[in-house]
Structure 1
Amino acid sequence: MKTIRLITFLIVLGAVYSCKEKRNQKPIEPPMKKKTVVYQVFTRLFGNTNTTNKPWGTIQENGVGKFADFTYEALNQIKDLGITHMWYTGVPHHALINDYTAYGISNDDPDVVKGRAGSPYAVKDYYNVNPDLAIDPAKRLEEFKALIDRTHNVGMKVIIDIVPNHVARNYEGVTNPEGVEDFGVSDDTSKEYDVNNNFYYIPGEAFKVPEWQNGYLPLGGEKSSLVDNTFEENPAKWTGNGSRLAQPHFNDWYETVKVNYGIRPDGTKDFDELPEAFWTKDYIAHYEFWKDKTLPDSWHKFKDIALYWLDFGVDGFRFDMAEMVPVEFWSYLNSNIKMKKPEAFLLAEVYNPELYRAYIHLGKMDYLYDKVDLYDSVKHIMKGYGWTDHIPVVQQKVADIEHHMLHFLENHDEQRIASPDFVGDPKLAKPAMVVSATISTSPTMIYFGQEVGEPGAEEAGFGSPTRTSIFDYIGVPHHQRWMNNKKFDGGQLSEEERDLRDFYQRLLNFTIGSDALMGDYQEIHYYNKDHTEGYDHRVFSYVRWSSNQKLIVVSNFDAHKSYDLQLKLPEDIIANWQLENKTYQLKEKLYGKASKKLSVNDGRGEVQVDLEPLQSFIFGLKQ
């Protein structure tokens, strides 16, 4: 119950900030002229050509990808897909089961590691990288730096993870810069809480590993001297998800410990709050506000980590579980990041819509996941029971912050589209992908393998099917067919898989080159429901425009039904576009095969559209 109270308090705390957005916030203008497209790649899985896929397989049995597998050929193929930013997931050195003691790295305990390959969100050393990813673990930092350089040389930016809410239970920096002290080294462990402790403690109680459930055993039950149902930690620390139990539950984040940011156990704060005026101030003002303040030690530690990686060449960060960390810390961290690198790309995992505006305006985040509204809505539509009528509703909810709401249909936490537990057929995502990528000015993200219909079907070990495992050594079969023994030419793809990748390539490349997609938006869905015969809740339509480009987007989410429609453009759009009563040519932008005519009469527009099942059109107006 205490854990629940703490998490509830933090949520309520953010909600208080979100209430302040009721003041007349103006929409923030997009800072870029063209769309951003992020390619999330699970780094250790990308280049692995091993197809053994034994459940709980070792690194020797199932293989692992390396930094070096991202060759110039691979990176150019990814860039040609329409990608602007690479999010290399799982780069910071996290706890894992492999012996690297020859390189001065301590072994990790399987009793507090999930899977063999370990969770990328249980970081063990923030000043180094996962030794699994290096050909020579002694030169792992040099190999990652070479990957950053290759990525930059082909014209893409680099994003990595930072996980400020928690670290691995066995955190141990082995290559810290001079003067950098590990988390917890100077903590007063006799206290549950001290403002400058990096962790929370349970004085007088030693940590106990969870009681394993559902047939789970570390390493899949393999006999190992490391598996003894114990892990030495005395006193016990709070667990990453906030559990205050010395023996966390199996479903707790037992492999991690929660970082203390100066929030007392009763929920009160040991740091200054931002004045109300800071809702509308820029990152420079936020930086100035914090620079002379006395702040908890953990704030400084994570600032130093972020600046270290910026100096290393990284272009931005994806922040895990950002809403579990106080928004004031984000103001401090992100303003420091922006002072060093104003163009840094800052993406946060926030799932509570009541917190969105606080984490954008006060926390100075660039982008948040649009998971709870847009993703969840289109997922329901793809599965057949959602209505497209809901899309304008969720878009209106975030109209003032739409540029900041990153869109995706897959990531490492979500089910693969092609999994039977989602929709089972990657083609069913085509209309949703068109809408997701073109409805707003926000960035688009795809997950590696999505573009070839990867179903995540492997029984990997700790990971379960439907999601490609982030905990195990495993191969990714559809993606491996695209790799084609590291030729990266799609040589082993089926015709359907090749066609799917071609669709993604056409769509994403169109988005990063379109002026209109960084301009204005208006839905025409409800107008057509009222005025167009045969138009229903399985179709969705809207317009996008800028001063030099006008687009009409229409998608059919139905896998079986065709539509023969006289799609309408209402008077206000015709007036806004300054169209005369005449006929205009429309050019289809994805495949270039369908030319249509827009007829304008009496200030209203009409275009004949024949939509096959799952078909989308992006029509550009020729003027």
Structure 2
Amino acid sequence: MTTQSNTRTNTIRPRLKLLLAAFAALGLTSCGQPPAEQATAKAEPEPKAEQTAGNRQGKPVVYQVFTRLFGNTNTTNKPWGTLEQNGVGKFNDFTDEALAGIKQLGTSHIWYTGVPHHAVINDYTAYGISLDDPDVVKGRAGSPYAVKDYYSVNPDLAEDPANRLAEFRALVERTHKHGMQVLIDIVPNHVARDYQSLAKPDGVADFGANDNSTVEYARNNNFYYVPGQSFQVPAWPDSYKVLGGEPHPLADGKFAENPAKWTGNGARAAQPAFDDWYETVKINYGVRPDGSYDFDTLPSEYAEKDWQAHYQFWQGKDVPDSWLKFRDITLYWLDFGVDGFRYDMAEMVPVEFWSYLNSHIKRVNPDAFLLAEVYQPDLYRDYIKLGLMDYLYDKVEFYDSLKLVMQGKGPTSALVETQQRMADIEHHMLHFLENHDEQRIASPDFAGDARKGMPAMVVSALISTSPTMLYFGQDVGEPGAEDAGFGKPTRTSIFDYVGVPHHQRWMNGGKFDGGALSEDEAALRNFYTRLMQFSASAPALMGGYFELHSANLANNSAYSEQQLAFARYTHSHQQDDQQLLVVSNFNAEQAVEFSLIVPAELISQWQLGDGNYSLAGQLTDSVAELRVTNGVGQVNIALPPLGSVVYRVQYQE
């Protein structure tokens, strides 16, 4: 979740750690019904008989697309521009041609970011939707993490806002037709300040509708309150003007909320600060203001139990109302046809809730893809094993180390150490180089050159059994250079209506064929296509890993901390086994040549006797030879600046 302009990396995470320590996992998101409603809560759907766990083949590739930006062909890019001035993408822009282009990148899952109806400035009162107050909306297009109606979708994305759910359903069906699954966001920690669901099913109450707002906390309240005080909008810094200073009838420095609610990041003041998540309110999951839990805790031995055992644990337990609400929301979307969820700021919600929610999801769809945003490595194992997350962002460990290598500020040894340290959970740690929260590789504040992502992407995609994620525009070197208004350069804005220039050249006026790309952009797209197709299909990438870095760093004068080498392989010792050698050069200025050492331990595992073995390039048409002498292998490697090779051992019939 991106919050204030581009301050999150520098400001929010350190503050978040302090908040989490102070609140002992407070800030938990609420979605429940009060005690009277619990007895008549919606019946749980039965599992779908045709679905069984483990149907997914190969290594998953997630393509994250910011839905309202993807199909926008408008190139105006006026700061704080309106929808009419700067344009907006629609569900219908994901045509068969567009989806085929996404599938070409090896994509198994599309994460459609920003689908649930969130607060926007555009006027949809003709459709019964209340106006949103720009004093509590970030940007003109609004943050996708300030959800206003969990049972509907963003009206900006529909050709006919009255038909928006049907248009999204058609997109889900088109995506499935192209052999890909659909992920959407669930933001359990907070909702928009003015949450109002028009599309909720019968018998479902809005968040806060049945709260006792005279007290700070009650177990089945959905929100925390500041009794006796009214909400006040933040004190704006001199550099900030709502909507860029454009007049608006509701932009008066006021928002009616009495009593005030706690803000999304846990701030308890009636007037949050400008860098708080002031457009949202925190949801209560049954965590008291002192941080103690008002629900059954999960015994530690459940870390070794499956989702069925977790599901049984919660049967007959009295859980807070917010738990029921989010259970019903996620099951609604599963029934709609969605295949999984990306959970925003999951670490701000207690792990017991995740055990409850995810076991209920897995009961309905055992193959549901559950991806969570967690930034504290000491919590990773709890959220995987106790919280039943399939995957977590590998941000703080692998991505952060890889970013330093790309910038020439860190050694490749750090990647080897991270891979070793995470070995017990590496399959669950999703790898990426870009997403909506992070700087674009080509931005000057990151690497300044999209080509520096090439060796990094080879390493990120091939070093582990974890899924890989691509952000739209990454494959053509999008630099995120636009000052869109609330969103500033280096990241593509998620708050504003804006065009994405490099991506628009791949769109080529709706042909989605890359016909308008420059030669360099087309070459980069071809690199990503070949790499990600290989990543999605190579059996060795779901098999063994052997690091070659240490032996070569110690015994090879031409090999340095700007190179990284490792092996991936299948285990069966059959003729159709894949035995891969992966070598990348992160030096942007110098080519490198050396004789790669393949240690005796790996040669023995591969059951290779002394002799010469042909090697075939998997990403290029290059060939090489593996020479095994006295049980130790050597391969002559020649890499250009930012070059990589992936060689497969060839066996003669």
SS in 2 for 1:399: coil
Please give the alpha-carbon distance, in whole angstroms, between the structure 2 residues aligned to 1:50 and 1:601: 61
CA 1:433–1:575: 2 relative to 1, 3 Å: same
Q: CA deviation at 1:176?
A: 0.6
Please give the alpha-carbon distance, in whole angstroms, between the structure 1 residues aligned to 2:297 and 2:25: 15
Q: 2:384 aligns with which of 341, 360, 378?
A: 360
Q: 1:276 aligns with which of 300, 314, 324?
A: 300
Give 2:317's aligned residue.
Answer: 293
1:496 equivalenced with 2:548 (yes/no): no
1:210 equivalenced with 2:234 (yes/no): yes
Please give the alpha-carbon distance, in whole angstroms, between the structure 2 residues aligned to 1:535 and 1:541: 10
The residue identity in structure 2 corresponding to 1:582 is G
The answer as to whether partners of 2:183 and 2:342 remain within 8 angstroms in 1 is yes
The answer as to whether partners of 1:30 and 1:518 remain within 8 angstroms in 2 is no
Please give the alpha-carbon distance, in whole angstroms, between the structure 2 residues aligned to 1:289 and 1:30: 23
Q: Summarize deviations over 1:124-175 as a string: whole Å, max 9, x none.
A: 0000000000000000000000000000001000000000000000000001
Give 1:229's aligned residue.
Answer: 253
Aligned counterparts, 1:373-452, within 5 A: 373-452=397-476
1:614 equivalenced with 2:634 (yes/no): no
Please give the alpha-carbon distance, in whole angstroms, between the structure 2 residues aligned to 1:195 and 1:104: 32
Please give the alpha-carbon distance, in whole angstroms, between the structure 2 residues aligned to 1:303 and 1:223: 41
The residue identity in structure 1 corresponding to 2:398 is L
The answer as to whether partners of 1:263 and 1:269 remain within 8 angstroms in 2 is yes
1:108 equivalenced with 2:108 (yes/no): no
Please give the alpha-carbon distance, in whole angstroms, between the structure 1 residues aligned to 2:25 and 2:367: 31
SS in 1 for 2:366: coil
The residue identity in structure 1 corresponding to 2:630 is D
1:63 equivalenced with 2:76 (yes/no): no
Give 2:331's aligned residue.
Answer: 307
**Structure 2: which 5+ runs fail to align?**
1-13, 28-52
Please give the alpha-carbon distance, in whole angstroms, between the structure 1 residues aligned to 2:436 and 2:19: 27
Q: Summarize deviations over 1:309-348 as a string: whole Å, max 9, x none.
A: 0000000000000000000000000000000000000000
Q: 1:7 aligns with which of 20, 25, 28?
A: 20
The residue identity in structure 2 corresponding to 1:583 is N
The residue identity in structure 1 corresponding to 2:590 is K
The answer as to whether partners of 2:355 and 2:388 remain within 8 angstroms in 1 is yes
Aligned counterparts, 1:88-99, within 5 A: 88-99=112-123
SS in 2 for 1:400: coil
Q: Summarize deviations over 1:268-298 as a string: whole Å, max 9, x none.
A: 0000011121010000110111121001000
Give 1:565's aligned residue.
Answer: 594
Aligned counterparts, 1:517-596, within 5 A: 517-546=541-570, 547=572, 548-592=577-621, 594-596=622-624
Q: CA deviation at 1:463?
A: 0.3
Q: CA deviation at 1:213?
A: 1.1
Give 1:324's aligned residue.
Answer: 348
1:487 equivalenced with 2:516 (yes/no): no
The answer as to whether partners of 1:540 and 1:555 remain within 8 angstroms in 2 is yes
SS in 2 for 1:485: helix
The residue identity in structure 2 corresponding to 1:109 is D
The answer as to whether partners of 2:263 and 2:280 remain within 8 angstroms in 1 is yes
The answer as to whether partners of 1:565 and 1:610 remain within 8 angstroms in 2 is yes
Instruction: With the length of structure 2 as denominator, give the TM-score of the two structures.
Output: 0.92
Q: Summarize deviations over 1:579-607 as a string: whole Å, max 9, x none.
A: 01010000000022x11000001000000
CA 1:305–1:12: 2 relative to 1, 3 Å: closer
Instruction: With the length of structure 1 as denominator, give the TM-score of the two structures.
Output: 0.96
Please give the alpha-carbon distance, in whole angstroms, between the structure 1 residues aligned to 2:381 and 2:105: 32
Please give the alpha-carbon distance, in whole angstroms, between the structure 2 residues aligned to 1:224 and 1:123: 22
Give 1:83's aligned residue.
Answer: 107
The answer as to whether partners of 1:567 and 1:607 remain within 8 angstroms in 2 is yes
> Structure 1 vs Structure 2: percent identity of aligned residues?
63
CA 1:156–1:351: 2 relative to 1, 3 Å: same
Q: Summarize deviations over 1:47-102 as a string: whole Å, max 9, x none.
A: 00000000000000000000000000110111012111100000000000011011
Equivalenced residue count is 608
SS in 2 for 1:591: coil
Which moved further from structure 2: 88-97 or 531-540?
Answer: 531-540
Please give the alpha-carbon distance, in whole angstroms, between the structure 2 residues aligned to 1:590 and 1:5: 45
Aligned counterparts, 1:472-483, within 5 A: 472-483=496-507
CA 1:511–1:10: 2 relative to 1, 3 Å: farther
Q: CA deviation at 1:533?
A: 2.7
Please give the alpha-carbon distance, in whole angstroms, between the structure 1 residues aligned to 2:120 and 2:16: 27
1:129 equivalenced with 2:142 (yes/no): no
Please give the alpha-carbon distance, in whole angstroms, between the structure 1 residues aligned to 2:468 and 2:356: 27
SS in 1 for 2:302: helix
CA 1:591–1:558: 2 relative to 1, 3 Å: same
Q: CA deviation at 1:217?
A: 1.1
Give 1:25's aligned residue.
Answer: none
Structure 1: 4+ residue segments shifted above 3 A? 1-6, 9-14, 29-33
Please give the alpha-carbon distance, in whole angstroms, between the structure 2 residues aligned to 1:33 and 1:452: 27
Give 2:49's aligned residue.
Answer: none
Q: CA deviation at 1:7?
A: 1.8
Q: 1:152 aligns with which of 176, 182, 196?
A: 176
Please give the alpha-carbon distance, in whole angstroms, between the structure 2 residues aligned to 1:12 and 1:253: 17
SS in 2 for 1:376: helix
The residue identity in structure 1 corresponding to 2:595 is Q
The residue identity in structure 2 corresponding to 1:144 is F
Please give the alpha-carbon distance, in whole angstroms, between the structure 1 residues aligned to 2:251 and 2:299: 51
Give 2:10's aligned residue.
Answer: none
1:602 equivalenced with 2:603 (yes/no): no
Give 1:337's aligned residue.
Answer: 361
Please give the alpha-carbon distance, in whole angstroms, between the structure 1 residues aligned to 2:325 and 2:129: 21
Q: 1:172 aligns with which of 196, 208, 212?
A: 196
Q: CA deviation at 1:214?
A: 4.4
Please give the alpha-carbon distance, in whole angstroms, between the structure 2 residues aligned to 1:380 and 1:292: 49
**Structure 1: which 5+ runs fail to align?**
15-28
